[in-house]
Amino acid sequence: MWLTLILSAAILRSAFGSATAPSAESSTIQPDPIIQEHLAKLAETKRHTIERSAELIELWKISRQPEVRRDRVLLQAALYDATHRHVSTLEPIMIEFQVDSGQIAHVLLPYHDTPDRHLHDLVWNLISCSIDQSTEMAGRDSRVREMLDYLGRTQVDPPSDLVRQVFYGAPTAAIDRLSMQWLMNDPAQEQKRRAILWTSHLVEDVVWKHNNRFLKHGEDDAAEAELDKLSKSPEWWVRLYVAHMLRRHDDVLDAPKARERLKKDSNPLVVEAINDKVERGPPETER
């Protein structure tokens, strides 16, 4: 599924907008000869050896230099691993530097659209969150939080590949966080933000009751009615949330008018989500 989604990113980017997209040069990591030399030595060492520890210490010392810093070493390790296939210098460095998956995602997100094919594959392998985890678990995924923070700073022209990833992986966390980031500072939008949060709460409550066999007849009507209202929203990302809720929970939520409306949506990501036939019903963890 993810191969199809990633391959269609370029097509959707042109329809989605690319006025502020970074240039190919800005999304390319330039090799640092000194750091690359140390990474080559690290790659030749074996686990749990004095030689490996010595190289990791040297790289840590380099990362403490004011003109270098930790993130530069991490980027160089990502570049080395992408260039030298089947080699991992980034993993032992992450352990030594005590860097978690969210922190590495923070460093690599600006390179999500790098023209370097091997680096692109490595970046997406490290920043992607699972589409099979529950919405509750997805909301706690540090990679999701970093991706949403990154998107929050690109409201005018958010990258379509990242939007797709985060809404497929964590639609509830996406709508909650983006509504706060993109609507919070505008008092005129407060009512709209509250409506979004209320719908999110209703949907989560209905899904939880359904999964745990507490859902009573008619309790899903209110959630479906609110989703129908949001499907008319002028904000594409709100309509995208509705599309993913109807796709992800099609065994619980109906809202046929909203479905038909979204199938004709002007935003290609919304149409893609509502028409997605690959995965029907909730993830296995939510059944």
207-262, pLDDT tens digit by residue?
A: 999 999 999 999 999 999 999 999 999 999 999 999 999 999 999 999 999 999 99
CB 200, CB 224: distance < 8 Å: no
Domain membership flag for residue 26? yes
Domain membership flag for residue 2? no
Statement to judge: residues 154 and 241 lie in one domain: yes
CA separation for the pair 200, 103 (Å, rounded): 28
**CA distances from residue 258 to 107, 117, 218, 222, 226 in whole angstroms, order as listed:** 38, 38, 18, 14, 10
Q: How far is CA 282 from the centre of its chain?
A: 19
Task: State mean pLDDT over 272-286.
Answer: 63
Statement to judge: residues 88 and 180 lie in one domain: no
Statement to judge: residues 90 and 149 lie in one domain: no
**Is the pLDDT confidence value at 3 over 80?**
no
**Is the pLDDT confidence value at 11 over 70?**
no
> 222-249 as b/e, with b when 16 or more CB fall inside 10 Å?
ebbebbbebbebebbbbbbbbbbbbbbb
Statement to judge: residues 88 and 152 lie in one domain: no
Amino acid identity, residue 173?
Answer: A
Secondary structure E strands in 116-165: none
Q: Predicted confidence band at 8 (pLDDT cuts at 50, 70, 90)?
A: very low
Domain membership flag for residue 157? yes
CA separation for the pair 176, 196 (Å, rounded): 8
Statement to judge: residues 120 and 195 lie in one domain: no
Looking at 24-28, 49-53, 141-145, which range is the least confident one? 24-28
**Is the pLDDT confidence value at 286 over 90?**
no
Neighbours of 185 (CB within 10 A): 8
Q: Give the range of the structural domain holding residue 221, as residue numbers without chain letter.
A: 144-286
**CA distances from residue 67 to 47, 62, 98, 111 in whole angstroms, order as listed:** 29, 9, 21, 21
CA separation for the pair 228, 32 (Å, rounded): 53
**Is the pLDDT confidence value at 7 over 70?**
no
Domain membership flag for residue 9? no
Domain membership flag for residue 282? yes
Instruction: State the pTM of this model.
Output: 0.83
